Chain A
Amino acid sequence: MAELTYRDAVAAGIAQEMDRDPRVVFLGEDIAAAGGVFKATVGLLERFGPKRVRDTPISEQAIIGAAMGAAMTGLRPIAEIMFSDFLAVCWDMIANEIAKARYMSAGQMTLPLVIRTANGSGARFGAQHSQSVENWAMAVPGLKVVAPSTPADVKGLLAAAIRDPDPVVFFEHKGLYATKGEVPEGEHVDRLGTAKVLRQGSDVTVLALAAMVPRALQAAERLQSEDGISATVVDVRSLVPLDTKTILAETVKTGRLYTVEENPRLCGWGAEIASIVAEECFYDLDGPVVRITTPHVPLPAADALEDATVPSVDRIVETIRRTAG
Chain B
Amino acid sequence: MDVVMPQLGETVKEGTVTVWHKKVGERVEANEPLFEVNTDKVETEVPAPVTGVLTDILVAEGATVDVGTRLAVIQEDGKPRGAAPAPEAVRAPAAPPPSDSSRAARRPAAPARGGEDGPPLSPVVRKLLAEHGLDPSAITGTGAGGRITRDDVLAYVEQRKSGAPAQGAAGERVPFSKIRKRTAEQMALSWRTIPHVLQAVEVDFAAVDRARTAQAEAWKAKEGWALTYLPFVAFAACRALPEFPAVNASLDGDALVLHRRVNLGVAVDLGGEGLIVPVVKAAADKSLPDLARAIHAVSEKARTGRLAPDDVTEATYTISNSGSFGTLLTAPIINPPQVAILSTDAVTRKPVADGERIVVHPVGVLAQSFDHRAFDGAYSAAFLRKLKQILETRDWASDLR
**Could you list which residues of chain A lie within 8 angstroms of chain B, going by C-beta atoms?**
255, 265-266, 282-287, 290-293, 295-297, 315, 318-319, 322-323, 325
**Could you list which residues of chain B lie within 8 angstroms of chain A, going by C-beta atoms?**
96-101, 104-105, 122-127, 143-144, 147, 149-150
Shortest distance between the CB of A133 and any CB in chain B (Å): 18
Task: List A contacts of B98 (CB < 8 A).
Answer: 295-297
Query: Interface majority SS on B: helix, strand, loop or mixed?
Result: helix
Cross-interface CB contact of B123 among A283, A293, A295, A296, cutoff 8 Å: A283
Of A282, A286, A291, A296, chain B has the most CB atoms within 10 Å of the CB of: A286
The CA of A259 and the CA of B97, in the complex, are separated in Å by: 17
- B104 and A322 contact, CB distance less than 8 A: yes
Task: List B contacts of A295 (CB < 8 A).
Answer: 97-100
Given A255-B124, A325-B147, 9 more contacts at CB 8 Å? A265-B96, A284-B124, A285-B122, A286-B124, A292-B100, A296-B96, A323-B144, A325-B143, A325-B144
- A319 and B104 contact, CB distance less than 8 A: yes
The CA of A292 and the CA of B105, in the complex, are separated in Å by: 12
Of A255, A297, A318, chain B has the most CB atoms within 10 Å of the CB of: A255
Task: List A contacts of B104 (CB < 8 A).
Answer: 290, 319, 322-323
Shortest distance between the CB of A36 and any CB in chain B (Å): 34
The CA of A315 and the CA of B126, in the complex, are separated in Å by: 31
Shortest distance between the CB of A285 and any CB in chain B (Å): 5
In the complex, number of A-B residue pairs with CB atoms less than 8 Å apart: 52
Task: List B contacts of A284 (CB < 8 A).
Answer: 123-124, 127
- B149 and A266 contact, CB distance less than 8 A: no
The CA of A319 and the CA of B102, in the complex, are separated in Å by: 10
Question: Can you list 24 A-B contacts with CB-CB less than 8 angstroms, sorted by A residue number?
Answer: A255-B122, A265-B97, A265-B100, A266-B96, A283-B124, A284-B124, A284-B127, A285-B123, A286-B124, A286-B149, A286-B150, A287-B122, A290-B104, A292-B101, A293-B100, A295-B97, A295-B98, A296-B96, A297-B98, A319-B101, A322-B105, A323-B104, A323-B144, A325-B144
- B122 and A286 contact, CB distance less than 8 A: yes
Shortest distance between the CB of A292 and any CB in chain B (Å): 6
The CA of A325 and the CA of B149, in the complex, are separated in Å by: 8
Q: Which residue of B lies closest to A254 (CB)?
A: B150
The CA of A154 and the CA of B96, in the complex, are separated in Å by: 35
Shortest distance between the CB of B257 and any CB in chain A (Å): 52
Shortest distance between the CB of A307 and any CB in chain B (Å): 13
Q: Which residue of B lies closest to A318 (CB)?
A: B101
- A286 and B125 contact, CB distance less than 8 A: yes
The CA of A286 and the CA of B98, in the complex, are separated in Å by: 26
Shortest distance between the CB of A184 and any CB in chain B (Å): 37
The CA of A325 and the CA of B150, in the complex, are separated in Å by: 10
Q: Which residue of B lies closest to A256 (CB)?
A: B150
